[in-house]
């Protein structure tokens, strides 16, 4: 069976764990050489790289905290130096913190906007300059919250609504260069981060399972499969889309 990303180079941000790690693994399984970006967990990134290499793929770990503006260029440059021009960028790095209106602070706002929005823009800017001549694909990992808009999530939801808007804008801006730009908006996925926040148990999970037409939360594999499709030539006429992978919850 032909691998859909054979010979391609992919950069996945925030790929040391969770959804990002699974995306890196699935892109590599489809033949891409993958730069696994991490901010703090080198051990996690190295483990993802080791899995890819053990399966016969090619990968490198690339450090950079994308909440810091200068990191974007360093991460992209390191990717290109190690693997060559970029064909696929997956903007997965992000943070979330839920607070009611009464307790929102400038720090809470900037912590999320600096990474989820500004970091995404700056990495996209640098990567677009280094894309292969034939174009390629940018996939932004947004969130189902951008339309579900749950209570106590004003800042996080705002960052993801911004990602949806940016996706639409950049799809038009980069189309002449044959760079497609799409977003994937996951529903609740039980990852390390979700477990650490305690969201995998209790009221929040029960509410989501009850409100979701498919009646369950999702898996990282289900998100990564959609990303792999959008990265491939099978999606060659798809750009500017926000694809909700939420089990039908809107």
Instruction: Assign residue 96 the CATH number of its domain.
Output: 3.40.50.720
pLDDT at residue number 55: 97
How confident is the model at residue 196, as a pLDDT?
Answer: 80
Q: Is residue 246 part of a domain?
A: no
pTM of the predicted model, to two decimals? 0.97
The answer to the question of residue 105 being in a domain is yes
Does residue 171 lie in a domain region?
yes
Strand ranges of the sheet holding 136-141, from the earlier edge strand across to the other edge: 59-63, 33-38, 9-12, 88-91, 136-141, 179-186, 242-245
| Residue 3, in any domain of the structure | no
Q: Locate tokens 């477990």: which residue? A: 195
Classify residue 249: in a domain, yes or no: no
pLDDT at 199: 79
Those residues of the chain that have pLDDT short of 50 are none
Q: From the candidates 38, 96, 156, 237, give the one annotated as an active-site residue.
A: 156
Domain enclosing residue 164, as ranges = 9-236
Q: Which uninterrupted H or E stretch holds 24?
A: helix 18-29
Q: Is residue 2 part of a domain?
A: no
Give pLDDT, residue 201: 83
Q: How far apart are CA 46 and CA 148, in angstroms?
A: 35
Q: Looking at the 3D structure of the chain, how many domains does it have?
A: 1
**Which residues, in sequence order, are CB contacts of 13 under 8 Å at separation 6+?**
20, 37, 66, 75, 89, 90, 91, 92, 93, 119, 123
**Is 156 annotated in the active site?**
yes
Strands (E), the chain: 9-12, 33-38, 59-63, 88-91, 136-141, 179-186, 242-245
Classify residue 247: in a domain, yes or no: no
Residue 197 pLDDT: 78
- Residue 250 belongs to some domain of the structure: no
**Helix 42-54 × helix 18-29 angle, to 10°:** 20
The helix/strand/coil state of 36 is: strand
Q: What is the pLDDT of residue 227?
A: 98
């Amino acid at each position: 069976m032909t691998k859909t990303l054979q010979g391609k180079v992919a950069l996945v941000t925030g790929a040391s764990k969770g959804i990002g790690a699974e995306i890196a693994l699935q892109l590599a399984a489809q033949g891409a050489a993958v730069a696994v970006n991490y901010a703090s967990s080198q051990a996690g990134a190295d483990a993802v790289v080791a899995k890819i290499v053990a399966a016969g793929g090619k990968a490198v770990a690339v450090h950079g905290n994308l909440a810091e503006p200068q990191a974007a260029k360093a991460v992209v440059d390191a990717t290109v130096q190690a693997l060559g021009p970029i064909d696929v960028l997956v903007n997965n790095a992000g943070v979330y913190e839920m607070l009611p209106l009464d307790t929102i602070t400038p720090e809470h706002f900037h912590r999320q906007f600096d990474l989820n929005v500004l970091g995404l823009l700056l990495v996209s800017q640098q990567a677009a300059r280094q894309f292969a001549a034939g174009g390629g694909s940018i996939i932004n990992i947004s969130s189902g919250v951008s339309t579900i808009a749950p209570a106590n999530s004003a800042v996080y939801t705002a960052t993801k609504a911004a990602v949806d808007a940016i996706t639409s804008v950049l799809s038009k801006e980069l189309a002449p260069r044959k760079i497609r730009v799409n977003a994937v908006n996951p529903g609740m996925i039980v990852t390390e981060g979700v477990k650490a926040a305690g969201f995998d148990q209790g009221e929040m999970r029960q509410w989501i399972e009850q409100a979701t037409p498919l009646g369950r939360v999702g898996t990282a594999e289900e998100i990564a499969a959609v990303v792999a499709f959008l990265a491939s030539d099978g999606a060659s006429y798809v750009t500017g889309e926000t694809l909700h992978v939420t089990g039908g919850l809107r």
